[in-house]
Amino acid sequence: MMGPWRYWRLKTKLLFLTLFTSALGIALVCAALIFVENQNYREQLNSIISSLDHIEIIQQACIYDQQGNVMASLASLDKRECPPVNRQLDIGFVEEVYRLLMPVTLDNETVGQLFLTSHLEVLYGHIRTFVFLATGIGAVILVALVFLALKLQRIVSEPILTLSQTAERIAQDHDYSIRAPVSGTDELGRLGHAFNEMIGTIQQQNRRIVDSRNSLERTVEARTSELSMANRELEAFSYSVSHDLRQPLRAVEGFGQALEEDCGEQLNETGKDYLRRIRAASVRMAGLIDGLLILSRVSRQPIESQTIDLSQLLQEITDELKDIGDDVPSEVHIQQGIEVVGDSRMLRVAFQNLLANAWKYSAHEEERVIEVSARKKGRWIAIEVTDNGVGFDMRYIDKLFVAFNRLHTPSEFGGTGIGLATVYRVVRRHHGEISATSKVGEGASFVVKLPVLGDGD
Amino acid sequence: MDGHSILVVEDNPDDQVLAVRALKSASESSPVIVLEDGQAALDFLFGNNSSQPCKNLDSLGVVLLDVKLPRVGGLEVLKCIRSSPLTNWLPVVMVTSSDEPADLLEAYRLGANSFITKPINYREFTEQMTLLARYWLVVNKVPKTGAVRSY
């Protein structure tokens, strides 16, 4: 439906449509009536003229004198009597006929009366023709108007229909490259433009989302491959550390021992002392390597969660400590029935470190007392390990769980500085927390909080 | 001690010297054969002919096999030893520097008789070697290679 009207406003179009169809309807009806009336008039003229010849429409005619006596009468078929005129006569339309009574005047003087009765057939015929024609013409005009209105309404409805079909197709196919055809600059045209612009924006945004998702995927892929490469390297590194770094230490320690055994007599006391120090240093270094390996292992190994009888595990660790032993009388109280969920190897490493620390730092006491207790608090279980050892200065709490930081000199207490860092790593990997409190000379207390459900990574 | 020999497959010269010293102090009479890598060990065990038992096998009591060896690794040598009917009876003790759990599992899966980690402390190492020589050369019995040949 192209045409100059596509630049009209929608309001104008609707107004035009309504006015145009109604006006056209009225005009057509008027034209039809004028034509019919014109025809009728011609027929009437004809009929008047012919009525003079065809008197049969007059049913009865009577002429009365002044006194009402019938002076003359004419009657068609039914030979009806003239009605007495002095009686009140019904005139006008009576039943199937039209009656007329009029005075007969001569020189302004009434000399008698004329009575006429006429058929109504002609009148009925006219009315029938008129009704028939009007209905017919009206129906034809109505059909024509409906057809026209249908044609014209497309001007308004077509763009809406196209727009809605486009919207449906886009919604169905998710194809945002589809555009609605837009014609004209009316409200619908503007709507179409706005719709297309909106779809364009969505398409652009979709493209941007896809682009950024792709780039994100690429980044994640790259990072993952970097990470797994780093992991592999780390694994190879710690494998190499565990094999290759140890070997020279074994050589240092072994040949030191061999030297002492085979050539001991040739060394003086100072020489033997140096040799002992060399061997002790290599043993310490081996301890450091072991600690680092354990730390790296608890960092990279996957967690295999299971329910663990922690009380029993702690008892085993305590027995091992007692076996290595020292001369300090020791009391270790472990609360029975402590159950946690986590990786048993890692938790063993963690609590081995905590108990070994408690053991080590209480070695200078007259009697060693170590206590392990647990209590549940909501989703958490808190396990507390306390000792009556030397404790530490709370000023340095920040350094406690950092690898290679020590709060005691090697001459006071030996150690690698890796143990608590390992404990911290294990606890963090179990999504737990660790805290410590102490006073110098009054022992230390470590609290490990683990989630009850054990949602380790 | 029975005259059975010990085969030590060890690539590091320091460890070779220390191992031989420890084994000698444990069992003076047992000859110790030292080889530097896995390929040399396979050549020694199988010789040129893979269908005939090598005469080197005749007096062999135990093999101490380092896990980490250049070219052909210790676990690979173990696999070859176990897959040949000529050598699958041979007691093999895997020796390693680290207690890497994966190596431990793999060694037993492939049929190692024993798995030990070399301690840093040489005195402990000597004790280990003494125990080892006593068990595998004195206590343990292996079939004569002639008996192996007959089936």
Q: Judge whether residue A51 has pLDDT over 60.
A: no
B30-48 residue pLDDT tens: 889 999 988 889 888 887 6
Which residue from B14, B96, B122 is facing A257, i.e. has the nearest CB?
B122
pTM summary value:
0.55
Place of tokens 């690429």: A218
Task: Say what the pLDDT of residue A378 is.
Answer: 86
Chain A positions touching B14 (Cβ under 8 A) are 247-248, 250-251, 254-255
Task: Say what the pLDDT of residue A53 is.
Answer: 47
Rounded to an integer, what distance in angstroms lies between the CA atom of residue A279 and that of residue A344? 34
Q: Please indicate whether, in this complex, the C-beta atoms of A250 and B98 are within 8 angstroms of each other.
A: no
Q: How far B8 CA lies from chain A's nearest CA (Å)?
A: 16
Of A48-52, A429-433, B23-27, the range with the lowest mean pLDDT is A48-52
Question: Which residue of chain B comes nearest to A282, CA vs CA?
Answer: B120
Of A217-226, A270-279, A405-414, B55-64, the range with the lowest mean pLDDT is A405-414
Task: Say what the pLDDT of residue B84 is.
Answer: 87
Nearest alpha carbon to residue A33 among A141, A108, A111, A180: A141
Task: Say what the pLDDT of residue A207 is.
Answer: 92
User: B residues 114-143 near A, CB within 8 Å?
Assistant: 118, 120-123, 125
Chain A positions touching B117 (Cβ under 8 A) are none
Beta-carbon pairs below 8 A across chains A and B = 53
Suggest the residue from B12, B120, B125 to mutate for an interface test with chain A (most A CBs closer than 10 A). B120
Task: Say what the pLDDT of residue A310 is.
Answer: 92
Mean pLDDT of A65-83: 74
User: A residues 211-240 near B, CB within 8 Å?
Assistant: 239
For the record, the structure tokens of A279 come out as 């061997």
Chain B positions touching A253 (Cβ under 8 A) are 120-122
Question: Which residue of chain B comes nearest to A251, CA vs CA?
Answer: B14
Q: Judge whether residue A10 has pLDDT over 80.
A: no
Chain B positions touching A243 (Cβ under 8 A) are 68, 96-98
At residue B54's C-alpha, the angle toward residues B53 and B57, to 5°, is: 95
For the record, the structure tokens of A365 come out as 């006491």
Rounded to an integer, what distance in angstroms lies between the CA atom of residue B18 and that of residue A454? 47
Mean pLDDT of A46-72: 69
Suggest the residue from B122, B124, B125 to mutate for an interface test with chain A (most A CBs closer than 10 A). B122
By three-state DSSP, how is residue A379 classified? Answer: coil
Task: Say what the pLDDT of residue B1 is.
Answer: 42
Q: Please indicate whether, in this complex, the C-beta atoms of B120 and A242 are within 8 angstroms of each other.
A: no
A257 touching chain B per CB within 8 A? yes
Rounded to an integer, what distance in angstroms lies between the CA atom of residue A394 and that of residue B64? 52
Rounded to an integer, what distance in angstroms lies between the CA atom of residue A115 and that of residue A75? 12
- Residue A56's pLDDT band, with cuts at 50, 70 and 90, is low
Task: Say what the pLDDT of residue B97 is.
Answer: 82
Q: Judge whether residue A4 has pLDDT over 80.
A: no
Average pLDDT across chain A, whole number: 83
A345-403 residue pLDDT tens: 899 999 999 999 999 888 888 888 999 999 988 889 999 999 998 888 888 888 888 87
Which residue from A243, A254, A286 is facing B125, i.e. has the nearest CB?
A254
Task: Say what the pLDDT of residue A128 is.
Answer: 85
Per-residue pLDDT of chain B (151 residues; tens, 9 = 90+): 457 889 999 988 999 999 999 998 877 788 899 999 888 898 888 876 666 667 777 788 899 999 988 888 899 999 999 998 888 889 999 998 877 788 899 999 999 999 998 888 888 999 999 999 889 888 888 776 655 544 4
Rounded to an integer, what distance in angstroms lies between the CA atom of residue A290 and that of residue A241? 9
Q: Please indicate whether, in this complex, the C-beta atoms of A255 and B14 are within 8 angstroms of each other.
A: yes
Chain A positions touching B106 (Cβ under 8 A) are none
Nearest alpha carbon to residue A18 among A119, A144, A148, A165: A148
Question: Which residue of chain A comes nearest to B11, CA vs CA?
Answer: A247
Q: How far B5 CA lies from chain A's nearest CA (Å)?
A: 23
At residue B34's C-alpha, the angle toward residues B33 and B36, to 5°, is: 150
